[in-house]
Every structure is written in structure tokens, then in C-alpha cells.
Amino acid sequence: MSKQTQQIDRDLTMSRAMVEAIADEMRDNEEVFYMGEDVADYGGIFDSTEGLRDEFGYDRVMDVPISETAYLGAAVGAAQEGMRPIAELMFVDFFGVAMDQIYNQMAKNTYMSGGNVSVPMVLTAAVGGTYNDAAQHSQTLYGTFAHVPGMKVVVPSTAYDAKGLMHNAVRDDDPVVYMFHKRLMGIGWLPAPDGPKTPVPEEDYTIPFGSADIKREGEDATIVTLGLHVHRALDAAETLAEDGISAEVVDLRSLVPLDTETIVKSVEKTGNLVVVDEDYRSYGVTGEIVASVADESLAALDAVERVALPDVPIPYSRPLEQEVVPDAEDIAAAVERTQ
Amino acid sequence: MSDTTDRVAVTLDDWPDDADSDEGVVINWFAREGASIDEGASLCEVQIDKVSVDVFAPTNGTLTEIVCGEDDEFAVGDTLAWIAP
């Protein structure tokens, strides 16, 4: 939280910070437009576009038919022709029906054309569970998007970060996947934890990709995480502090590019690495971070813990979902095991 | 509550026409006590029958007291906060 400084009198929810950045970019550049399901009249089912249609109208804030293949393909084409589309996947879980457009067109067309076109689009997507929406509407899928080359992948955890990352995403000349966690948006029926609502400057600013943020400094263990679990890790660190364990919380903010340097530096200080992810355990963020640190600084690692979703479809049942999604107690227990 | 002479109540003046309920809940405050406020700025967001509505500052001034905090319920006409112009 180091950079959000003095004398900002207003707090914003994460959704309002995102919308402020998008509106600012749309005012600045008429090539920027937004399309997705229920983004115009409804304002986004997670408030990701609230108020944009009122200001910019239907030509620039477009509700689209329920065909992710069609409108994500349209966004790729518009981007290649010089526009700057922001296209929203209502739930990241729906990526499968448009996988070719995302994985083979959006991510690769710059390369397939020998650099003759660029694809300056932003793909926004709601991620995350914790509200009993079952296995097809609760996934986080960080690994799926960070895996394929050609797309940048960013994940804000606070309103301040959400605004700066969105400005940077729209201005980037390559495709950016911007994954926002539903539980962080500040919606009435889906209350956020304390933390994502932060002071946000009125003026525009960018947060460069590949710059992880140390949300809490500590000496005994490094917790690397992102999205909702930044706040759960901060809660865990608070509890651990009462027991005399000092945990550092590193918020990745972007998966591609990955700020390995900040992670390694922290682990070289603490000696212990705990990676926390809301995505599945296998072939994902936890394994990748641990491997990256092992590559760079194997000798620094005294202990390693991975806290992630077990490899099961996310249960609809409330107690079962709470069991599989890591909470602050799971994180604190993992940190204690490293000590 | 006799010292109300030079402070202005923040209320939700435009209760949604189609709301069945005459009670709401405060979802988010965007200003903290002590903040200086511009007239018309969105001070907080409330929810009535699952519809979110913003509450705007009736005047310039300082937000001296938040009466209904986040998650608090309120009824039509209730004072949500006080502004000292």
C-alpha cells in the first residue's frame, strides 16, 4: 500500500476504480470501447461497467448476443484494425466456448502475422468463488490464462491497484487479460472483505505490469498470492503476528509478466515460501512460483508450502466450498508449518 | 441533539419509486469522517430491495459524523450523516 499516499479524501470500491479508469480512457481515445454480456443496460453483473452506457451510449458500450466466440473474435479483429476494445467474459468459466479466439487468435496473431498486426485489446473476466455458484461459475483459472504465451495477465486486489492496472492495460499495445475477483468488487449482495476499498486519486496513473507489491513486510516467511487471497493472507499475517511470527505478503498483481525478482528477494530474506492460490493446485500458480524461486535461488529455500484448491470441481454446497477454498486459517497453518 | 443549527443532514432524497421496502442498508461509504466534501459528490451507496443507489452530498463542507455505518439499516427519511458547511 506504499504508493497510495497523502490527502486523498475519498475511498472507492474496486468496481468504481475500474470504471473510472475505463471512462477516462474512453474520454481520451475514441477508439476505446467496451463490449460484453449485460455490460450496457445492466452495468455488468458485477458492476464492472456501471454508468458507462449513460455517458458513452450504445455505440461504445455494447451488449452482445450470447456468443463469446463471435464477440471476442470481433474484438480481436477490431483491435487489429486499430481500435482498442475491452471485451468482457461475464464469468471466466465461459472461456471454453471461445478458446480458439483467445488462445489462437488474440494471443498469437501478432506472431502469426510476423509482427504486421498488433492486438491492443483487453479481455476482462470475473473470477472466483466463495458465494455458492458451483463448479461452472466459481473458478479462478489464473493458470489457464497465464500458461499460454502472447497474453499479459493482471489481477488487482485493491481499488488503487485496479485503477492503475486498468489504465496500463488499455494503453498496452498487446492483449491483456484483466481478471477481477467478484468478491472484491464491493457489491451489496456479495460483500467484500475489509481492504479492497482504498483511497484512489482522481487523476489517472499507471501501475506497470510485472511489479509485485509488498502489501505487508515481514521477516519469517513470504506469502506470495494475488486477488482475494491477498486479503486472506493479510488476515493470516495479523493472526501470526500475535504468535510472534512475522509474515511478508507479496501481491503479484500480474502473472505475466511475473516479478520473480521481488519474490526471490523476499524469500532470500525470510527463507520460507508459502504460495496461496484460489486456482487448482496442479499445474498452476503455486507450482510455477515455487519452481521459479528454486530456479533462481534454490539455496534460499528452507521450507515450501502450497495452499490452493484441491483438484476437484468447486462444490455448490456452502460448507464444502468453504472447505476447499483456502481461508486465513489455512494460510496461517501453512506458515506455521514452515517455522 | 440541539446543536443542529449549522449542520446539514445527509439523506436519501430520491427513494426509488418502484421499491416495495421503506428500509435500506448502507453498502459502501466513499468518504470518511473529517473529509472535505463537494456538493453533489457521491458519499455512499445504499441498497434497497437489491437495487443500489448513490447518496449525494447536499452541500459543500466537512463530513463531521457518519450516523449509519456500512451494513447498518435505515428507513425512509433517516439521517445517514452530517455535513458542516
For A46, the grid coordinates are 458485477
* pLDDT (0 to 100) of residue A329: 98
Q: What is the ipTM of this complex?
A: 0.86
A112 is written with which cell numbers? 502469426
Burial state string for A282-315 with b = 16 or more CB within 10 A and e = fewer than 16:
eebbbbbbbeebeeeeeebbeebbbbbbeeeebb
Contact A189 B50 (CB under 8 A): yes
Please write the tens of the pLDDT for every residue from A190-234. Answer: 999 999 999 999 999 999 999 999 999 999 999 999 999 999 999
- pLDDT tens figures, A124-148: 999 999 999 999 999 999 999 999 9
Average pLDDT estimate for A163-187:
98
Residue closest to A94 by CA, chosen among A50, A138, A61, A64:
A138
The per-residue pLDDT for A3 is 47
Element at A180 (helix H, strand E): strand A176-181
Q: Please check whether residue A163 touches B, CB under 8 A.
A: no
Contact call for B30 and A11, based on CB within 8 A: yes
Given a cut of 80, whether residue B5 has pLDDT beyond it is: no
For residue A200, the chain B residue with the least C-alpha distance is B30
From chain A, the residues in CB contact with B41 under 8 A are: 10
Q: What is the pLDDT of residue A1?
A: 44
Q: How confident is the model at residue A75 (pLDDT cuts 50, 70, 90)?
A: very high
Please confirm, yes or no, whether A147 is among the known catalytic residues: no
At B6-46, the pLDDT tens digits run 899 999 988 988 888 999 999 999 999 999 999 999 999 99
Q: What is the DSSP letter of A276?
A: E
Q: What is the pTM of this model?
A: 0.94
Domains of chain A: 11-199 (3.40.50.970), 213-338 (3.40.50.920)
A13 touches chain B (CB under 8 A): yes
Distance CA B71, CA A12 (A): 16
- The C-alpha of B31 sits at a distance from chain A's nearest C-alpha, in angstroms, of 5
- Mean pLDDT, chain A, integer: 96
CB contact under 8 A, A186 and B27: yes
